[in-house]
Amino acid sequence: MKVNKSVWGFLAIIFILLLVACSNEETATDKEETDNSTTKSTEPADPFGKYEETITIAIGQEVDPSDTSLQDGDTPLDNQYTRHVMENLNIEVEHAFTASPSNYDQKVSLAIASNDLPDAMVVGPVELRQMVEADQIADLTEVYENYASPAIKEIIDSSNGVALDSVTFDGKIMALPNSQAGADGVHNLWIRQDWLDKLGLEPPETIEELKEVAKAFVEQDPDGNGADDTIGLAGPDTSNKLYANFIESTNNLYGFDGIFSALHAYPGYWLEGDDGSPVYGSILPETKEALEVLREMYSEGLIDPEMGVREDSGESIISGNTGMFFGPFWMPYGPLTDAVKTNPDANWQSYALPLDSNGEYTPHLSTTTTQFVVVRKDYEHPEAAMKILNNLLANESEFDPSIGGPGYYPLRLVYAPADEMEVTTVALREVLAGTKQPEDFYDMPAYKLLKSDVDTIFDVKLEPYDNMAIQYWDIENHLGQWTRAYSALVGTAPLVDTEINGVKSLIYSQTKTMEDRWVNLKKLEDETFLKIIMGTEPLDSFDQFVEDWKQQGGEQITNEVAEAVQ
Amino acid sequence: MRTKGFAKHYYFMLAPGFVWLILFSIVPMFGIVIAFQNYNPGQGVFGSEFIGLETFKYMFTLNDTMNVFYNTIFIAIMKIIGNLIVPLVFALMLNEVRYMGLKRSIQTIVYLPHFLSWVILGGVLLDIFAYQGPVNQMLGAFGVDPVLFFGRADLFPFLVIGSDIWKEFGFNTIIYLAALTGINPALYEAAGIDGANRLKMLWHVTLPGIRTTAVLLAVLSLGNVLNAGFDQIFNLYNPLVYSTGDIIDTWVYRAGLLNLQYELATAVGLLKSVVGFILISLSYYLAYKFTNYRIF
């Protein structure tokens, strides 16, 4: 008996301890909340106003562990950007959490699910919707109206209301939208020009020619090392997609976007059907045809045999095994920098290819707004997030990316006029050709990097100024500027020189039923298509997929999209 | 032993484990409610709308549900069987090695992988079985075309099972070896005098001697019948092998944490617990019936 009593007493003590621990926490947060509601911001509405007393903002931030750009002694919390924010705005940035790029979304989801939110963070459209419904984030209508700098308002307005529409729920602005260059959403063909030249080939204009080039790259040992180790066309790795879709319409690396588009297949996009009503591109016969083409290419070994399994398809680009891939204009910011460092002869050029059967370039186009800054409800300085963004846009050209990449700027959103890259490319060409002087471009504040671009172009570009081959660049002199200039003069050039008959999705956001059903439909789609291409399932499983897709909520979603479009 | 001097310090030593159990195993059980709610993280478990069995109905319309259950049970049971038999056989063979130094070194080498996490081993395995990795180069020497091992849905479960056994068998071997040293040498001498050869000794002395250990390990591992190894599979799989490699835990992880489908993830998790509970009770009963062995 005595023993039993002691056991129960012991248990009781543990329970009490637990209860005390829990309730302590609760009272603490209660207190905090009352504090917050009593303090009202008394700052005058100045978009760049410096706080009199230092305030802190705890943010969630993406930190790439393989990014070594920070100069010695700097940390993700103490670098040129955070010091700039501190000096100009008197805002101290803290980390509520950090995560590597591949884990960031997961960290955000975890924060939402546990209702343990940072003061502010960058999220995608799906998470934004979720947080609005959970009533977790602050209404930023007043913040945007009173504190957004004129430059940001100008850029956001240039999207014809798309940017603001995507953050407006019940008439309230619930997040700060980004607005990015349209070039992010076009996936060009990047190709090893030196391999083409060596094998006496031309850039492939059609799908057929693309196959021939890929075959030559695989079989004719273009790198001349005597080993059978070359890949014709790269395929998506585990963190990328077969094609960009309506929710994530930009920056898909190593996908097959170019091949789908050339065949007028737009999987993942909402298109106007023959009868005028919306239809989902992935279930159309064109997509099946495109899958058949890809399936043949894969079985002939023209596509990376390890697609879909690789952790990072960029590795084989860096190591010089890959001959072609699809990606946006900024690939020099991606693997190409390391690729040319490894092999200075790797002459990566970009083309608006392959063309469709009429000889036209018909890529899918993106929306301008894909990322959002949200502020936790009850955070006492919601305008601080807006000020941090104002500060970025106003001063971006002052920062030197070679002592800390732009990703280290807290709450960084891209603000760029839709034609930023095209304008940059044209400007650089004119300066190189001598038809204009750098000074002619100084007065274009919305194009925030243009001034530094035109000022430094002669540091990295060698003569002849109209030949963009890799040997006519001085990479060593200023790697950061080379990255930028190469992205413009090589990566964006096809967008300037080609007439683009692009296709837009009818919508770029989720509907109600999608919240519950989309994930599983998407999984069904991704799995089926990947297996069809890699030959583990017959091509006709596509028909079964279409049926399943409609049955498991696709039909209902299509109706919702029809309503949303009207 | 007298109960009067009640050993309070035992209970103090028990306390950390007990707190852990309550915090991480008992308190979270109340989260089951989420499966019956339209869960809204902003309002929490208490404020969310109650929707009854709707999530469960949706769950059973999904192709995935039965698939992940089947995968989980298949992989888990194969792992349990493999992890019982392989170390047992290995321990018996090692026990016959007479040279102590050799025995010790082998023992140490085979249980080293046990201490590596799947994050590391996952990377190593992916490289070893890569398209141009050592295994494919070896196959190539025999004229076999390279195989994309981790992209083949038919091979994936066996790679998972095989690599798990390879990682863990050394550790279980040690437990068996310890049990083997516990057998009274006099029994072997007596058997030898009675004219038993090595094989007969193995059958009549060694195996009965470690039967309790084997059953104990088996019963304990039954608790894992629905845990097919999240960290291992998570580090090895990709969308190509979802059809045979996706298990309940990885599925719940993707649904709940990546895709914010809290209700669905909780519902599947709950179903897993219910099925797991039934299976464990059943196997515990069977273990008692056949070997008269019980934990409680």
- Taking only the tens place, the pLDDT of each residue in B100-121 is 899 889 988 998 999 999 999 9
Domain contains A125 = yes
Same domain, A327 and A207: yes
Which is higher by pLDDT, A180 or A385? Answer: A385
Domain contains A453 = no
Q: Closest Cα partner for A234 from A275, A200, A187? A: A187
Chain B residues with beta carbon closer than 8 angstroms to that of A115: 41-42, 44
Q: What residues does each domain of chain B span?
A: 1-52, 64-256+264-291
Per the structure, the count of domains in chain A is 2
Q: Work out the percent of chain B whose per-residue pLDDT is above 70.
A: 96
3-state DSSP call for residue A461? strand
Same domain, A355 and A375: no
Q: How far is CA A508 from each of CA A104, A132, A163, A528, B86, rounded to the nearest angstrom?
A: 22, 17, 11, 23, 54
Tell me, what's the pLDDT at A402? Answer: 72
The closest CB to that of A519, out of B61, B261, B262, belongs to B261
The set of residues, in sequence order, having a beta carbon less than 8 Å from that of A56 and lying 6+ positions away, is: A91, A92, A93, A94
Tell me, what's the pLDDT at A26? Answer: 41
Angle of the A555-565 helix axis to the A512-533 helix axis, nearest 10: 120
Same domain, A230 and A123: no
- Whether B126 has its CB under 8 Å from any CB of chain A: the answer is yes
Residue range A187-237, pLDDT digits in tens: 999 999 999 999 999 999 999 999 999 999 999 999 988 888 899 999 998
Tell me, what's the pLDDT at A28? Answer: 40
pLDDT at A25 over 50: no
Tell me, what's the pLDDT at B98? Answer: 82
Q: Closest Cα partner for B278 from B219, B228, B225, B230? A: B225
Q: Which residue has the tokens 């900024």?
A: A330
Query: Residue A197 is which amino acid?
Result: D
Mean pLDDT, rounded, for B154-161? 93
Average pLDDT, chain A: 87
CB neighbours (10 Å) of residue B289? 9
Looking at residue B146, the DSSP 8-state letter turns out to be P
The closest CB to that of A306, out of B22, B42, B130, belongs to B130
Q: How far is B219 from chain A (nearest CA, A)?
A: 28
**Region at A321 (left for phi over 0; alpha for psi -120 to 50; beta for the rest):** alpha
Same domain, A289 and A334: yes
Domain contains A462 = no
Same domain, A224 and A285: yes
Tell me, what's the pLDDT at A29? Answer: 41
Same domain, A241 and A311: yes
Same domain, A338 and A359: yes
Tell me: ipTM over 0.85: no
Same domain, A157 and A230: no
Instruction: Categorize the per-residue pLDDT at A38 as very low, low, confident or very high, splitting at 50, 70 and 90.
Output: very low
Tell me, what's the pLDDT at A4? Answer: 55
Same domain, A297 and A332: yes
Instruction: Categorize the per-residue pLDDT at A181 as very low, low, confident or very high, splitting at 50, 70 and 90.
Output: confident
Same domain, A152 and A96: yes
Alpha carbon distance A460, A472 (integer Å):
9
Q: Closest Cα partner for A446 from A165, A209, A158, A120? A: A158
Instruction: Categorize the per-residue pLDDT at A13 as very low, low, confident or very high, splitting at 50, 70 and 90.
Output: low
pLDDT at B196 over 80: yes
The CATH superfamily of B64-256+264-291 is MetI-like (1.10.3720.10)
pTM of the full structure: 0.78
Instruction: Categorize the per-residue pLDDT at A35 as very low, low, confident or very high, splitting at 50, 70 and 90.
Output: very low
- Among A383, A408, A433, the domain-final residue is A408
Q: Which domain holds residue A194?
A: 187-364+503-565
Nearest CA in chain B to A515: B261
Instruction: Categorize the per-residue pLDDT at A163 as very low, low, confident or very high, splitting at 50, 70 and 90.
Output: confident
Mean pLDDT, rounded, for A418-426? 90
The listed range with the strongest mean pLDDT (A201-210, A439-448, A471-480, B127-136) is A201-210
Same domain, A81 and A220: no
Mean pLDDT, rounded, for A349-367? 93
Same domain, A123 and A211: no
pLDDT at B11 over 60: yes
For residue A352, what is the domain's CATH number? Answer: 3.40.190.10
Query: At A177, phi and psi to the nearest 5?
Result: -85, 155
Domain contains A348 = yes
Chain A residues with beta carbon closer than 8 angstroms to that of B238: 238, 308-309
Instruction: Categorize the per-residue pLDDT at A39 as very low, low, confident or very high, splitting at 50, 70 and 90.
Output: very low
Q: How far is B109 from chain A (nearest CA, A)?
A: 30
Domain contains A258 = yes
Q: Which residues pair with A233 in a beta bridge?
A: A303, A324
Domain contains A460 = no
Joined together, the tokens standing for residue B261 give 């489908």
Q: How far is B267 from chain A (nearest CA, A)?
A: 14
Domain contains A473 = no
Domain contains A212 = yes
Q: How far is A191 from chain B (nearest CA, A)?
A: 23
The closest CB to that of A536, out of B8, B11, B153, belongs to B153
pLDDT at B6 over 70: no
Are the beta carbons of A474 and A316 closer than 8 angstroms? no
Best residue of A523, A529, A551, A552 to probe chain B, by most B CBs closer than 10 Å: A523
Instruction: Categorize the per-residue pLDDT at A32 as very low, low, confident or very high, splitting at 50, 70 and 90.
Output: very low
